Structure 1
Amino acid sequence: MTDDPRTDAHRLPRAVLWDMDGTLLDTEPLWTVAMEQFAEKLGIELTPELQSATMGNSSVDALTKVYEAARVPESGRDFDGDEAWMVQRVLAMFAEDLRWRPGALDALDLVARAEIPMVLVTNTIREVTDTMLDTLGRDRFVATVCGDEVEAGKPEPHIYRRAAQLVGEPIGECLAFEDSPVGAAATFAAGVRAIIVPSAVPVRPRATFTFRETLEGLTLDDLADAFGGR
């Protein structure tokens, strides 16, 4: 390899776009608890099917699915109030039990050592993301994009297209990391190749996806292979 791995024969991506919940941080169990409490508040049970359907969603999409399951009429849906209710419960749990996904910290360090710019790309709202960045490390990322800062969150492609704009690279020169069907669908819609590390719900295979069981042992060769540089 040459001193700059981005010029090597097996070309690396020019930017790496990281999902947060379930990919870098093990937050999905905590979100599930909050969603269970919200469903109970509406008088229903968060079934496994409903829980899977809300995983990786933006706040609006997740709340909408629970509202619909509880048959709450549109006139009775208090998105702002219920989102604030959810945020307070989630932040309280994060303060007590926020954990890294296996291999995530080493994977971030690997990409940083290769001098590849990184962007955090999450459906989580800015208020919650800013708290999580205290654990992730703000200085690791050249930019962050949240679900409440784009026209529509994942599975729509807007959030990934915005991330590419912020890092100043064509979307096709980036590589994403995701864990959920919703996040994976967003990468596919945006036209960015992705390494998928499923956390709880299986992800449908696509030609642009490379699957791993964990981020542990990730290498630059793995990034090059997933990016299609070989």
Structure 2
Amino acid sequence: MKPAAVLFDMDGTLVDSERIWGIALTELAARAGGTLSESARLAMVGTSSADSMRIFRDDIGQPDRPEAPDLAWLTARVRDMFADGLVWRPGAMELLLAVRAAGIPTALVTSTGRELVEVALKTLGVENFDVVVCGDEVKRPKPDPEPYRTAADLLGVPIGSCVAIEDSHSGVTSARAAGAAVLAVPAELELEPVDGVHLRTTLTGVDPLFLAALLV
């Protein structure tokens, strides 16, 4: 038995990029004359760019601050750091390669925009994904189920036979609502046990047989 597809989140799940986002957002807050709180930074994990920037503005006490210049600066800064190469999360590369070797279709389903995803794919390997769904290519990003439903539709597989791998509450909510089996591997945030969500501390030791068992 195999999953019909494995749907991977990117930031914090496959690669240790949440740390990079934290550095860039802290620098942006300093440029704006403010300080980003740890609670606000954590609240941004797994959210869309629009939600993240709203949290950012509220946290530094500038709710009316124009979004476009800040988002452009942030994107450029993160792009430069992504270009230096991204560090894989424990067990993530081994699992991705094992899933590909087993002939199981894969999708990358991320809240990050296409411009930055293209840079990240130089580390992840564009050949490792049959479908890539980016945060700026859906009408309703995570935690809405649309990104995961879109990935399954593009792959031509039933979402109920897919396994989604996530690290954030927003992503888990999206995948569960879409109807996928969910494996959660928290990175920046602790996740509370939820019915239907399988929690692990890392992806080390996870293989296609383990993922298939989540569908039973």
TM class by smaller structure = over 0.9
Q: What residue in structure 1 maps to residue 35 of structure 2?
A: 45
Q: What residue in structure 2 maps to residue 77 of structure 1?
A: 66
Kindly report structure 1 stretches of 4+ aligned residues shifted beyond 4 Å.
Answer: none
Partner Cα distance (2:61, 2:125) in 1 = 40
Partner Cα distance (2:86, 2:129) in 1 = 19
1:196 corresponds to 2:189:
no
1:110 corresponds to 2:95:
no
1:97-125 C-alpha deviation (Å, 9 max, x unpaired): 52111111110111111111000000000
Partner Cα distance (1:86, 1:29) in 2 = 14
Match of 1:32 among 22, 32, 48: 22
Deviation of 1:194 (Å):
0.9
Are 2:112 and 2:136, in contact at CA under 8 Å, matched by a contact in 1? Answer: yes
Partner Cα distance (2:63, 2:87) in 1 = 37
Q: What residue in structure 2 maps to residue 182 of structure 1?
A: 170
Partner Cα distance (1:77, 1:190) in 2 = 33
1:61 corresponds to 2:51:
yes
Deviation of 1:41 (Å):
2.6
Deviation of 1:196 (Å):
0.6
User: After the TM superposition, which residues 196-215 of structure 1 pair with which residues of structure 2 at under 5 Å, given as runs?
Assistant: 196-215=184-203
Aligned CA-pair RMSD: 1.4
1:12 corresponds to 2:2:
yes
Q: What residue in structure 1 maps to residue 130 of structure 2?
A: 142
Q: What residue in structure 1 maps to residue 140 of structure 2?
A: 152
Deviation of 1:20 (Å):
0.6
Which residue type is aligned with residue 132 of structure 1?
A
Partner Cα distance (1:68, 1:152) in 2 = 22
1:227 aligned counterpart, secondary structure: coil
Partner Cα distance (2:73, 2:111) in 1 = 17
Q: TM-score, normalised by structure 2?
A: 0.95
Gaps of 5+ in 2: none
In the alignment of these two chains, the number of paired residues is 216
Are 1:184 and 1:203, in contact at CA under 8 Å, matched by a contact in 2? Answer: no
Deviation of 1:34 (Å):
0.8
Are 1:67 and 1:77, in contact at CA under 8 Å, matched by a contact in 2? Answer: no
Gaps of 5+ in 1: 1-10
Q: TM-score, normalised by structure 1?
A: 0.89
Point out the more displaced range, 219-228 or 183-192. Answer: 219-228
1:215 aligned counterpart, secondary structure: coil
1:224 corresponds to 2:212:
yes
Deviation of 1:211 (Å):
1.0
2:183 aligned counterpart, secondary structure: strand
Match of 2:108 among 113, 116, 120: 120
Larger Rg: 1
Match of 1:130 among 89, 110, 118: 118
Point out the more displaced range, 153-162 or 216-225. Answer: 216-225
Which residue type is aligned with residue 69 of structure 2?
G
